[in-house]
Structure 1
Amino acid sequence: MIQQRAAGAIMGALIGDALGLGCHWYYDLDEMRRDCGAWVDGYLSPRPGRYHEGMRAGEPSQSAILLRMLLHSVLAHGEYSEADFTRRLDEDLFPQLDGTPFCGPGGYTNQSIREAWRRRVREGRSWQDCAGHADTTEGAERAIVLAALHARRPRRVAEAVSSHVALTQGDEAIIAMSTAYNIVLSQLIAGQRLGPDLVPALLGLVHDGELPFHAVTRQNLQPPRPGEGEAARAGTFASPDALLLPHYAAIAARDPGIRIEPAWKAALVYGLPCAIYQQLPAAYYLASRFADDYESAILHAINGGGQNMSRAMLTGALVGAQVGLDAIPRRFIDGLMDGERLCEEALALGALAGRE
């Protein structure tokens, strides 16, 4: 049922965040194995001198804190209120920041949030003028809440997510990829599966004007008939290619001639850094390969190293949406700070999604 899948997406992301806390941003994988063990399979406290130093196993990073801030805002109002969310940033988060990376709740403040803080606090800009140029996934991660809330309304997902991500991300291509990820996630919460058949249906919505992407080609990417290209609807985003990425990742995961072994090496294939165009392919691949196995998907996302926290959040939401909250192993909830309360909040959001 949709409540279970929505809650699975939220909890899947929050667990992925906390699993990454103690082994975050190791780009030397040999060093990661020495510090964290041959296979990370649970929550770890960060080592001295590493990112998030001083925090404890199972605690959230700032990415999860922001996701939960948006979740609380939606639950308080029964809908998404940009004014309420930005008020929470102004009153609850920004007073704890100073514009430097290693300051603020969660032990680290990402680039897009630092840029928004600088423009909002130091320069006094309005929230319509606070977005920076980070090419990272922070906006996509927060917006998982909105994908769950509006799971049955793809157009509303696209509108809400793109507007929300634009608060902190100023690059249209990054907004498009963040929006496409959450459109795909919403379809999984609504009951679809992450596979080669999902994206053709989404492209149909593009051609019908339900999703804000510009497309000239016909079904199955066939060329347009004479005159169709000129009449094609120009949407918010340049093309629907961001929606094609999960399609090809799913094909790769199912093709017996393409093997990434062990699966965590998908991170090496697609890239260890933070950029969204390196994070999303690995997340889609792992979520396609382990669509029914949350534990395998999330642990391979973590053990790939690099920006494994974001990779695990994105993967965890996709797989959590497919398996539902009850199929997430209990040990991950038990070891998570405020795990029971988070489950209650995630289920409350799922109830809102069910009523839409």
Structure 2
Amino acid sequence: METQVKSSATADGLRDRALGALMGAFIGDALGVGPHWYYDLDQMVADYGPWIDSYTRPKPGRYHEGVEPGQPSQSGILLEMTLRSLVDCGGYDETDFCRRLDAELFPQLDGTSMNGPGGYTSQSIRDAWRNRFQEGLDWGKFGSDVDNTEAAERIIAIAVRYALNPAKLAWAVTANTALTQTNGNVLTTTTTYGAVLGMLVEGHQLDTDISDKLMERIKADTRISRFNSSVQPLHAAAQGRVEAEKNTDCVPCMEAFFSSHDALVTPSGVVRAAHDSAIRIEPASKVSVLYGLPCAVHHQFPAAYYLTARFPDDFESAVLHALNGGGQNQARAMLTGALSGAMVGLSGIPRRFIDGLERAEVLLALAERLVDDMQSQAQRNYSHGYFIDERRCP
């Protein structure tokens, strides 16, 4: 039997789950680099064989050409950038995050898709680059209507960091998403995904009760988020506005102004389908055909929920079925990798996926520092009885 990676704190389930979510996302991203965006599934089989089970090299002339097996796409690079910002600042600092985009990413872009770190730049990032570098607009004054999962891929680190503070998780995920995407459906589904991921890191199961738990957090009527409370605000950013709540000492509970609450109901419905013996998708990778091969959030999130629920104890099966589904499989594998990694923990991720991931030791060290911050902040807050706002970069 293949050996498993062990967390540095094997007795700490929370730590194991948090590290699993982060490393699972990096693994899913890198797995998708080679066979990314094959809408002709027969061609994908012709190029890579009937089942892809490891890191691969992109074929000449395709997306990410020149990226080596185990290296990240730009999505993985952005996730690491977000992770570094969280670690360096001790929490989410929007000014620092935007500075990193301006200084580290945007100078490497030229506004075209087949360019930039990772070999491809998504539409929402290209739009942000034009608004900043060509139009000179301030952050917070623009946002793309593109409905892809670009923001969802980087907020994974934010969701893990604030898994024990649902109020701050919802605010920070929504605010960060709105920097590049202001589509109402993107904001609600991305924040819901972040909330689900946070709950899995907490220790909840991805089961048919998950949506009811989310709804209960929405309904909670309190102004201050307390340790392990039920507060889960998803606020006015869904209407294109992110209120300037971040400078307060405590995180206020913001009202839920969803354009629709359907995003909250979706996870349990998908889980029910995954567990219903009368509904069988075989192989499970065909879930991509059912929900849709393209990039939009309404194709990607249900497939990620389904595969995680279908293989609750099996990271390899969940992520590889996401990968072998074709289409926007890089995002599907990344989103599934985070959810499944939170379910099984770092200790449940097969060693070969860590060994084949470039700079795995660096990424794991960053993840460890983030989890250290999460746990130490939770301990301080527990002693005070409430969550105070995190410190910020100088």
Q: Normalized against structure 2, the TM-score is what?
A: 0.84
What amino acid is the match of 1:274? C
Aligned counterparts of 1:349 and 1:3: Cα–Cα separation in 2: 10
Q: Is the 8 A contact 2:303 2:332 kept in 1?
A: yes
2:192–2:263 Cα contact (<8 Å) kept? yes
User: CA contact under 8 A between 2:281 and 2:287: conserved in structure 1?
Assistant: yes
Alpha-carbon distance in structure 1 between the residues aligned to 2:205 and 2:368: 21
Who is 2:233 aligned against? 212
* Percent identity (aligned): 53
Structure 1: give runs of 5+ residues left out of the alignment: 215-232
The reply on whether 1:137 has 2:158 as its aligned counterpart is no
Q: Does 1:147 align with 2:167?
A: no
Match of 1:163 in 2: 175
Aligned residues of 1:115 and 1:130 also touching (Cα < 8 A): no
Q: Does 2:39 match 1:27?
A: yes
Q: Which residue of 2 aligns with 1:350?
A: 371
- Equivalent pairs counted in the alignment come to 338
Match of 2:4 in 1: none
Contact 1:290 1:297 in 2 (8 A): yes
Q: Tell me the CA shift for residue 211 of structure 1.
A: 2.9
Counterpart in the other structure of 1:96: 108
- What residue identity is the alignment partner of 1:301? A
Question: What is the aligned counterpart of 1:322 among 331, 343, 361?
Answer: 343
Q: Is residue 334 of structure 1 aligned with residue 355 of structure 2?
A: yes
Q: Which residue of 1 aligns with 2:289?
A: 268
Match of 1:6 in 2: 18
Per-residue displacement from partner, 1:308-355 (whole Å, max 9, x unpaired)? 000001100001001111110010010011012211211221222222
| Unpaired segments ≥5 residues, structure 2 | 1-12, 222-230, 236-253, 379-394
For the residue of structure 2 that corresponds to 1:244, the secondary structure is helix
Pairwise CA RMSD: 1.2
Measured in 2, the distance between the counterparts of 1:166 and 1:234 equals 17
Letter in 2 for 1:343: L
Q: How far off its partner does 1:238 sit? A: 2.4
Structure-2 residue corresponding to 1:305 = 326
* Secondary structure at 1:126 match in 2: coil
Separation in 2 of the partners of 1:204 and 1:170?
26
Q: Per the alignment, in what secondary structure is the counterpart of residue 341 of structure 1?
A: helix
Deviations along 1:90-121, one digit per CA (max 9) or x if unpaired, are 00100000100011100000000000000011
Does structure 2 retain, via aligned residues, the 8 Å contact 1:212–1:236? no
The answer on whether the counterparts of 2:171 and 2:234 sit within 8 Å (CA) in structure 1 is no
Q: Distance in 1 between matches of 2:160 and 2:140?
A: 25
Q: Which amino acid aligns with 2:322?
A: A
Counterpart residue number, 1:293: 314
Question: Of the candidates 72, 78, 103, which is equivalent to residue 66 of structure 1?
Answer: 78
Partner letter of residue 4 of structure 1? D
8 Å contact from structure 2 (residues 191, 234) kept in 1: no
TM-score (norm 1): 0.93
Q: Contact (CA 8 Å) 1:213, 1:238: kept in 2 or not?
A: no
SS of the equivalent of 1:272 reads coil
Number of the residue aligned with 1:226: none
Equivalent-residue separation in structure 2 for 1:346 and 1:34 (angstroms): 37
Residues 238-277 of structure 1 correspond to what in structure 2 (within 5 A)?
Answer: 238-277=259-298
